[in-house]
Structure 1
Amino acid sequence: MSDVLAFHLIPNEQIEPVSERGLGHWEAIGNGGMFECVAEGAFPLAGGWYRFSSRMIARGGELVGPVFYPDYGFGAIEGARVPLPFVPTAEGSCLVRFASDVQSLRFKPSLAISEFELDGIRLQRVGRIGAFADMFNNLFDRTPGKRARLGLVKRALQRLISGGPRSLGDWLYATYSGADQAEAADTYAEWIKFYDREGAAQKRVIERRIDALKHSPLISIVMPVYNTDRIWLRACIESVRAQQYPHWELCIADDASPAPHVKAVLDDYMARDSRIRVAYRPENGHISAASNTALELATGEFIALLDHDDELHPSALLAVAEAVNAHPSWRMMFSDEDKVDTRGRRYEPYFKPDFNYDLFLGQNCISHLGIYSTQLLREIGGFQLGMEGSQDWDLALRCVERLRRDEIGHIPQVLYHWRAIPGSTALSGDQKSYAHDAGYKAVTAHLSRVRPGATVLPVAGLPGNYRVRYPVPSPEPRVSLIVPTRDRLGLLKMCVESILAKTDYRNFEILIVDNGSVEEETLAYFRAVVADPRVRVLPYPHPFNYSAINNFAAAHTDAEIVGLVNNDIEAIAPDWLGEMVSQAVRADVGCVGALLYYPNDTVQHAGVITGFGGVAGHGHHAHPRGSLGYFGRLALVQEYSAVTAACLLVRRAIFEDVGGLDEALQVAFNDVDFCLRVRAAGFRNVWTPFAALYHHESASRGTEDTPEKVARFESEIRFMRERWGDLLDSDPAYSPNLSLNTTPFAFAFPPREATAATPVP
């Protein structure tokens, strides 16, 4: 292999050649545009330092954040991406580092849609000393003033002395590449700048999207109006008229507004645009009645709901039309949303999961933008009088009762801007207490129809959000809590005795699985603890394999519910098991997970996000106890693709039907794999914050710090990537607009599917 590798670039479907400009001119027509890098004899490419060089010139738009996606044997995954430290100039270069041997390589020249010139890329191997010298010289040249440069030298020496060459290299690369400043730059304003901006390239893409539609449904926008401020009413209507998709009608019902300017504004727009229709109600009937009046005007195939002072994104209806074409079974859809203040500043985007029934019972996460089949709304009789303030939540709940999950879709784009003005719930959740009362009433009414016996409770710190408490059957189903252990008596006693002393659910047993304990104190404890009829000890004299141990124990119980519990779990409150059982007995629920805290009262587990870091990671990790999390999600029951087996309940029939834990996964990811198989079998995995315990994580197993453990861990990563592939990176409980490689719930740069309509699995 020569010192310099020249790669030929093969574009994917989201990069097109601009033939009229000649060879090497390209246009990225989507955020997923990238090249496959091909060079004879280049792979496997040894890990280490390389000098990247290329002729990259922006010809339309801007080249932002070019990045490599190396395949280290697990696929070209988000968690392994290698950003270029900066965008090189026309003939510039920069250093990059690959963590290990690369099997194949992809290159994304820009995080944003753009037109550019690129005729190939080159990589030249650089030794460690040379890389360190180049980075230090670059930093030295960029540092102004003698004093600052002296400080740079001191910091470099301190890194070398305290941590050795590796620590110095990590610090140099982070500083050189600006990685230590990246988090501060990851603001919503930056995100909008990259992925939600107007420009020549974007306009051409929009034209192609419209031309590609095979079916162009008429979309009726239903908008009740009452005494709206003139400026916001005009802004709202103008946002509809600015839609890129032309096939719409705006159906307005004025609810007897006393302010004279309202009729003047509406009459003006009716005269200017024949697609705008207005009904003037003779008397005020409140928002449900007014919405029904507007609904009567609708002739479209689909209904979109719009409040009278909010705004639609210019591409909102085009995205809806694309979703209708891509998913003809969808009868109800919703999008992401953000807020907009009186200065037009957009903020607080809610990047939502796909339809998540339990989360939807806790908060109206469908809300804006909500789109419904017109026929469906006719079937349910439109808006319910008496639900004013949460009439849209009640409407969606009644629709959900008639729909299959595959008839409900999520469009993961910000299509709706919620106006934050005084008196609006966008500005503060406690602005309209009557809306909270109506929300409680709507959820309670829904449950009375579909789950009699369930009760609705408020959630502390989250006005307008609710907890649903499900009844536990009588008699209580028996639960067998499986606790694998090997010595570590202090941990085991803490676990067992806290469960026995602090659990108010009665019908359970603890099944301790002894994986070869040898310490006399432990063996004596086993002999003593079985005097409690709630405790059994099963010997398992075989090499450690977490999956095999739990499968063995599950075969030795006839309990209706199996609980997987680590020996470093500590019960906190008495109702934890009753809460988990109440979720596990629901017919469509598979695995149930708990909220686990470290002993320092920060979050260890609050649901597992698949794809994070390559395979899976914990959402809200390290948040302080009492935190509400991302849009309240740390305080609400919801579905996750997976939950940790450190404390997991599942009906034994389901455990057996899916074949238990896969024994090929001895230590890591066996719980994630199990949960994904349970989900594939048609069940929903649920996480509840109302079962809280301490988890002294991995205290009994230690860290993955030996070559053997590292090799085993890497093999388990490879196993998961081979079995589940891209499904890991498409977690329906986690937005494609949120990061898989920085911090959970941080913005994704770039979004994984920013223009895709995501089906509900």
Structure 2
Amino acid sequence: MKALKMRSAIGRLTGGRGATNALRKAYGVYRREGMAGVRRKLTWLRAGAPGVIDAGEYARWIERYDRIEEAVLESIRARINAFSSAPLISVVMPVYNPKPEWLAQAIESVRHQIYPHWELCIADDRSPDPAIRELLERYAVDEPRIKVVFREENGHISAASNSALSLATGAWVALLDHDDLLPAHALFCVADAIVRNPSVQLVYSDEDKIDASGNRFEPYFKCDWNPDLFRSHNMFSHLGVYRKALVDEVGGFRLGFEGSQDYDLAFRCVERVEAAQILHIPRVLYHWRLHAASTASGVEAKPYAAIVGENAINEHLQRQAVQGAAEYIDYGYRVRYALPAQPPLVSIIVPTRNALHLLRQCIDSVLEKTRYPKYEILVVDNGSDDAETLRFLTSIAENPQIRVLRDARPFNYSALNNRAVEAANGELLCLLNNDIEVISPEWLSEMVSLALQPRVGAVGAKLLFPDDTIQHAGLVLGIQGVAGNAHKHVPRATRGYFGRAALVNSFSAVTAACLVTRKAVYEEVGGLDEVNLAVAYNDVDFCLRVREAGYRNVWTPFAELYHHESATRGLDDDPVKRERFECETAWMKHRWREALKHDPFYSPNLTIERDDFSLAWPPRVPSIA
């Protein structure tokens, strides 16, 4: 029976393609997680958007980990009483003709906050429904912390938000839409974060959606500050909290950016602070109401918002003197960064040993399909002894664009690349495995354009298995003990968890199977570690040292290549290789023991047991009080 189930699973895991790879995948899932894991994987793939968390599973997770018990409430109150200076938070709410019951629920969600030091600043944008004015006037009389201004003319959301902002006297401003909800602990979590981090300027939290029946679903468990992801979609959004002085400094909300006015505001604020002053709270502190007219139901509900968001990004790029342009791509934005008029030389480094069919495929695909105009190829021959391979190496050396370097030492991936870098003429380096096949002509242009951006260290590509499923879409620390591939084995067209498999964004690390970096950065951090990491995890270690030096590592889905993974040197399945792998794993766990505890580019509410962005049971989040 299990065999029949497995065969059935194989077809469904890959759509009938690639039976051998499918067997490995299905058996791997079964061995780790049993048939329940195989069923979970199938559900995930059938969803078309792996990473979207099942509503029923999320409800169970909420019940277990997102309820505030009375004992916790006591601790929270004690914590508030211990604040040496409790920040006043002004909740800003523009209002225009919502359903009265939704507006009342939004206001009540503020009134029921555990944290008492708030004010609710409401600006009604001349709602035509008289029930709205009556409701707001009643609340203003009943609750002294609620302030209301009634605008004399309808000016739309930016103008109304500025009117609400004019009522604010708090040092901090939190944004709340007129039909959304805050959980009772939201403002406490914000205030506590501010007290613990006095230099912070901007705070944002996780969020989810809520329907008319009060059911919560689609939680967005975010990573810490990720500027590249922020240029791809508004990851800041809800709950967004700003230091009031900063909002005043940038001039509040801008007219003409209605629909993405908060995105534009966040851009202008982010430009004036350091990354360390932007704080993420890994808790769901905002419930975004889903209804036909809200952007929670998709940008198609407000198509103008997509265009305005594009404008906000482009003006941000102009203010930052970044040559590039954003375009809306249905599920987010793509920023195309411009290459210099004289593109720099890229040295493509390809270590190899025999494996003629792979090497020829790799070199031919680079030469035939790469549109980037200025590159050299350095083939590092690690002791090939196959006659046909040697003849091929001799023939390609006649191409002035290719050099063959001989290095017959025992296989040491790090050392082979480091030696080649010494001989490289390029301003940029591209580390490329010999089992890589180019399939997108703009792959190198895309990666170079990102690598040339300020404070970008390494750039990774979207690598695919030959059956058109994802092999690499960024590396997440902690998965498989050290690091694992995000979204591995999902279909090529999958957008992934809130677009992260289809949008440019930063990760802690990217694979060196295809990695572009500036030569100066490579040399600054000392290249790959050839002493401790001859084969495994040298790319993860390199990227972590790059990050430690103050750079960020970026992954792009717009550079696609096939990766015929491990086809050259095989799997680490013999005793010698296994011992080496275990030693290198132990070294990584010791060297980066603190970094591996928390990946800032991944949520502690998501699992590190698997690579599918599913829920963590339990989450790796400290106690709330």
Query: Please, what TM-score do these two structures have when normalized by structure 1?
Result: 0.75
Question: Residue 188 of structure 2 aligns with which residue?
Answer: 318
Q: Is 1:213 the counterpart of 2:87 in the alignment?
A: no
Measure, in 2, the Cα distance between the counterparts of 1:232 and 1:174: 43
Q: Identify which of 415, 437, 454 aligns with 1:548.
A: 415
The match for 1:495 is 362
Asked if 1:332 corresponds to 2:202, the answer is: yes
Q: What is the CA deviation profile of residues 91-131 of structure 1, one whole-angstrom value per residue up to 9, with x for unaligned ones?
A: xxxxxxxxxxxxxxxxxxxxxxxxxxxxxxxxxxxxxxxxx
* Contact 2:371 2:441 (8 Å CA) reproduced: yes
| Equivalent of 1:703 in 571, 588, 595 | 571
Structure-2 residue corresponding to 1:42: none
Which whole-Å CA distance do the structure 2 matches of 1:172 and 1:691 have between them? 33
1:217 shift after superposition: 0.4
Amino acid at match of 2:128: P
Aligned residue in 1 for 2:400:
533
User: Partners in 2 of 1:179 and 1:597 — Cα distance?
Assistant: 23
Counterpart residue number, 1:139: none
CA distance in 2, matches of 1:174, 1:688: 30
Aligned to 1:599: 466
1:635 pairs with 2:505: no
Matches within 5 A, 1:574-723: 574-663=441-530, 664-723=532-591
Structure 1 residues 719, 216: closer, same or farther in 2, change over 3 A? same
For these two proteins, the number of residue pairs brought into alignment is: 589
Higher helix share: 2
The equivalences for 1:241-252 within 5 A come to 241-252=111-122
Cα offset, 1:242, TM superposition: 0.9
- In structure 2, the residue matched to 1:426 is 296
**Which amino acid in structure 1 is aligned with residue 597 of structure 2?**
D
Contact conserved, 1:482 with 1:510, CA < 8 A, in 2?
yes
Distance 1:697 1:738, change over 3 A: same
Partner secondary structure for residue 237 of structure 1? helix
Asked whether the equivalents of residues 200 and 277 of structure 2 are also in contact (C-alpha less than 8 Å), the reply is: yes
Residues 509, 756 of structure 1: alpha-carbon distance in 2 compared, 3 angstrom cutoff: farther
Q: CA deviation at 1:456?
A: 1.2
Which whole-Å CA distance do the structure 2 matches of 1:734 and 1:660 have between them?
25
Pick the aligned partner of 2:339 from 448, 461, 472.
472
Other structure's SS at 1:426 match: helix
Distance 1:270 1:418 in 2: 24
The percentage of aligned residue pairs carrying the same residue is 53
Gaps of 5+ in 2: 6-28, 44-53
SS in 2 for 1:720: helix
Answer yes or no: is the 8 Å Cα contact 1:412–1:754 preserved in 2.
Answer: no
Contact 1:673 1:720 in 2 (8 A): yes
RMSD of equivalent CA atoms: 2.1
Kindly provide the CA deviation profile for residues 239-264 of structure 1, in whole angstroms up to 9, marking residues without a partner as x.
00111101000000000111000011
| TM-score between both structures, scaled by the size of structure 2 | 0.91
Q: How big is each residue's C-alpha offset from its partner over 1:308-329, in whole Å with a ceiling of 9 and x where there is no partner?
A: 0000111110000111011111
User: Counterpart amino acid of 1:707?
Assistant: P
1:204 CA displacement: 3.1
**1:402 and 2:272 equivalent?**
yes
Aligned to 1:518: 385
CA distance in 2, matches of 1:180, 1:551: 41
Deviation string, structure 1 residues 24-43 (Cα, Å, up to 9, x no partner): xxxxxxxxxxxxxxxxxxxx
**Correspondence for 2:132:** 262
* 1:732 CA displacement: 1.0
Q: Give structure 1 regions of 4+ aligned residues with deviation exceeding 4 angstroms.
A: 170-176, 178-186, 754-757
Question: 1:283-294, aligned counterparts within 5 Å?
Answer: 283-294=153-164
| Residue 713 of structure 1, CA deviation | 0.9
Contact 1:737–1:754 (CA under 8 A) maintained in structure 2: no
Q: Which of the two has higher C-alpha Rg?
A: 1
Partner of 2:618: 750
For residues 666-710 of structure 1, give each alpha carbon's deviation from its aligned partner in whole angstroms, at most 9, with x where no partner exists.
111000000000010011111111111000011101111111111
1:226 aligned residue (84, 90, 96): 96
Is the Cα–Cα contact under 8 Å of residues 30 and 37 in structure 2 kept in the other structure? no
Distance 2:374 2:409 in 1: 30
**CA contact under 8 A between 1:412 and 1:755: conserved in structure 2?**
no
Change (3 A) 1:172 1:592: closer
Equivalents in 1 of 2:84, 2:579: separation in Å?
51
Shift of 1:211: 3.6
Distance (Å, rounded) in 2 between the aligned partners of 1:576 and 1:171: 35
